[in-house]
Amino acid sequence: MPQDLLQRVPELTSRAVAATSQQLADGDLEQYRRELTGYCYRMLGSGSEAEDAVQETFVRAWRNADRFEGRSSVRSWLYRIATNVCTDMQRQVQRRARPFEVGPASPPDEKYLSTLLPENVWITPIPDARIEPAGNDPAEVAEHRESVRLAFISALQHLPARQRAALILCEVLRWQAAEAAELLAMSVAAVNSALQRARATLAALPSEPHARRLDGPDAELLERYVDAFQRYDLDTLVTLLHEDAVQTMPPFVMWVQGAVNITRFMVLPGPDACRGSRLVPTSANGCPAFAQYKPDPSGGYSSWSLQVIETSSGRITGIHCFIDAANIFPAFGLALHLDA
């Protein structure tokens, strides 16, 4: 490097840092929102908490823009802040779970619907539009979908925060161990050790009751599902389900397994109120999803649940109904009421 340029390195570095700090102060952070939301969602297991964590990350970045020293990229700096935010949030709540982890499958009897648990117990969904990668490379899209499946998000919840962050950074986001080590203030050896322990923990977890490799969206199958559900044609619906399919209904602890049991459950007096529902398509957690609206006695249709649909080998393996519509629907840009 020429001597005159070498002498100007502190000046040039100072200018670069000042320019970056100005970008942060001006709020030029939106370009990172989608990937940070995906990262925070994998860390926290809650769509709403992930959104809150990203907003808190931006607030902390704006407040500390003048302290940014330029030793790493803005992106890495934001990930460091986001990791700290998520770690702080996790100290305040218990591990989130899915109904399979709370209790065994129930008979198709609505009396088992009596037990509800609060929202902070459950893994909750997130709109694909908030976290999916901007590119359209099929391999990248498929890899992304696998990394946000409900089962994987649930499995991540079994890891301590540092192991979880290391696994997401290195095996989902493909950071080098040295990059993750710098972000997490760990040695490379410590990151590799954390990865090894995380993999061992995930490998030892019991499989979910309907564990299968999921397909991508199957337009024909989904069209038949919507038609059968909206007509409440349970004879057709049972043929679209795997024989060991499951239906979950957070915040209810109850879940049902088996195609026959699911359709039997749907004709009980309480669940039968879903007869005549409308389904509006969307997507969540790398899967097709539907906003379910039940008939409203006052007219039109009222929001009821977000159904996340899992499919494998041309059959539906999971119908995961998230019933907290008042909070979930707005996050998906869905109306709370439909006109007749």
The per-residue pLDDT for 65 is 79
Which residues of the chain form beta strands (DSSP E)? 241-248, 255-257, 278-284, 287-295, 301-312, 315-322, 337-338
Domain definitions of the chain by residue range = 3-90, 219-338
Of 327, 329, 331, nearest to 307 (Cα)?
329
The total of other beta-carbon atoms located within 10 Å of residue 81's CB is: 20
Q: How far apart are the first and last CA of the chain?
A: 73
The per-residue pLDDT for 139 is 83
The per-residue pLDDT for 64 is 84
The per-residue pLDDT for 17 is 47
Cβ neighbors of 119 (< 8 A, separation 6 or more) are 251, 324, 327
The per-residue pLDDT for 135 is 74
pLDDT in tens, 159-193: 999 999 999 999 999 999 999 999 999 999 999 99
Among the CATH numbers 3.10.450.50, 3.40.640.10, 3.50.50.60, 2.40.50.140, which is that of 219-338?
Answer: 3.10.450.50
3-90 topology per CATH: Rna Polymerase Sigma Factor; Chain: A (1.10.1740)
The per-residue pLDDT for 209 is 80
The per-residue pLDDT for 13 is 39
Question: Taking a C-beta distance cutoff of 8 angstroms, is the pair 236, 228 a contact?
Answer: yes
Helix and strand totals (H; E) in the chain: 16, 7
Question: Residue-wise pLDDT tens for the chain (340 aa)?
Answer: 445 534 543 443 345 445 555 555 545 789 999 999 999 999 999 999 999 999 999 999 988 877 776 666 889 999 999 999 999 998 766 789 999 999 999 999 999 998 899 999 999 999 999 999 887 788 888 889 999 999 999 999 999 999 999 999 999 999 999 999 999 999 999 999 999 999 999 999 988 887 677 777 789 999 999 999 999 999 999 999 999 999 999 999 999 999 999 999 999 999 999 999 999 999 999 999 999 999 999 999 999 999 999 999 899 999 999 999 999 999 999 999 999 8
How are the residues of the chain apportioned to helix, strand and coil, as percentages rounded to the nearest 5?
Answer: 55, 15, 30
Distance CA 78, CA 183 (A): 10
The per-residue pLDDT for 10 is 43
Q: What is the CA radius of gyration of the chain?
A: 23
* Residues linked to residue 156 through DSSP beta bridges, in sequence order: none
The total of other beta-carbon atoms located within 10 Å of residue 53's CB is: 26
Look up residue 209 and give its amino acid.
Answer: P
The per-residue pLDDT for 16 is 43
The per-residue pLDDT for 6 is 41
The per-residue pLDDT for 87 is 92
Of 261, 270, 317, 323, nearest to 292 (Cα)?
323
Q: Which helix (H) or strand (E) holds 178?
A: helix 177-184
Q: Beta 287-295 vs 255-257: how paired, if at all?
A: unpaired
DSSP track, 56-99: HHHHHHHHTGGG--SSS-HHHHHHHHHHHHHHHHHTTSPPPB-H
